[in-house]
Amino acid sequence: MLRNVLLRTAASPFWISQIEWWGRRSGLTRRFVAGESFEEALPVIRGLQDEGLLTTLDQLGEDTRDLSAARRAADKYIELLRRLNVESIPSTLSIKLSQLGLAIDPNFCRDLLGSILAEAEKVDNFVTVDMESSAYTESTLEVYRWALDRFGTARVGIVLQAYLFRTEADLRALSALGCHIRLCKGAYREPRTVAFPRKSDVNRNYRKLVRVLFESPAYPEVATHDERLIRYVQRLARERKPRDSWEFQMLFGIRRSRQRSLARAGYRVRVYVPFGTQWAPYFTRRLAERPANLVFLLRHLGRR
């Protein structure tokens, strides 16, 4: 019930504006968001890398309804790739296609993604196409397949969500191609017609899908904070994949000590680092995703 309320909040312009006001005033969003600009996020990124952690950067923004805004977002990602190259920061990018105008014009979005990937090719970087709500799943995969044909598995990867019924078929098809696939549980409010409604079913499907990944030529990116799933993947990987051919992925601000301990144990661990001014929908989904995040929030408020 609480999760659904928070996810509805993440889709409400009114409540998002309220969260933005409160978040800036309280400063609490800094637990989950590295800053409102690349300059603010830069010390965070360097600090994570100094601890032996890999990073992928998300310049926050989604559901763009204006083509000029979509183009500006693409230009910012191109500039970010150049900055990373100049600063010698070995960080990849993660991009939501709705930020590039997917809901307005998929072909325009595709062309913008192509310009970003062309720059990534110049500076030898990598881009992951994030997955959003199920309303965007098919169009996201269509654009991704186009990008994959043009730029290849070494340049662009995809996110798939274990809570969707369709994901097994998508994962089997893409993993056979050797794609980089980030497997997450999913963080959007979905109808029962397209997604598993129960957490236990999502966990069961996640285990099934991660096994398919490890038995394929894909590069698995295991995105989870669930300790039982982490240990399951560790056992699975010992039998099927050397440590340099897959990685754990976790969100900035969540289970920080576990991120470090896995890295010290010799696992590749990549931290998803969001930054930017449009952080409220992302922040609200993080609260909905794990009760521990909401507990942290309430404790912080109690100390103010």
What letter does residue 255 receive in the DSSP assignment?
A: S
**Distance between CA atoms of 94 and 182, rounded to whole angstroms?**
11
Annotated catalytic, 58?
Answer: no
Give the helix/strand (H/E) hosting 57: strand 54-59
Phi, psi of 143 (to 5 degrees): -65, -40
- Helix and strand numbers (H, E) in the chain are 12, 8
**Distance between CA atoms of 287 and 296, rounded to whole angstroms?**
9
Q: Which of 110, 155, 170, 182 is catalytic?
A: 182
Q: Is-contact 96 132, C-beta < 8 A?
A: yes
CA dihedral 193→11→174→77, nearest 10 degrees, is 170
Q: Is-contact 271 259, C-beta < 8 A?
A: yes
Q: Rounded to whole angstroms, what are the CA distances from 212 to 199, 222, 269?
A: 20, 12, 20
**Distance between CA atoms of 40 and 25, rounded to whole angstroms?**
17
**Distance between CA atoms of 165 and 205, rounded to whole angstroms?**
9
User: Which residues make beta-bridge pairs with 220?
Assistant: 181
Q: What is the 3-state secondary structure (H, E, C) of 121-161?
A: HHCCCCEEECCCCHHHHHHHHHHHHHHHHHHCCCCEEEEEE
Q: Which of 130, 155, 189, 255 is catalytic?
A: 130
User: Which residues make beta-bridge pairs with 157?
Assistant: 128
Annotated catalytic, 299?
Answer: no
Q: Rounded to whole angstroms, what are the CA distances from 248 to 7, 141, 186, 240?
A: 25, 23, 16, 15
User: Which residues make beta-bridge pairs with 164?
Assistant: 195
Catalytic positions are 130, 182
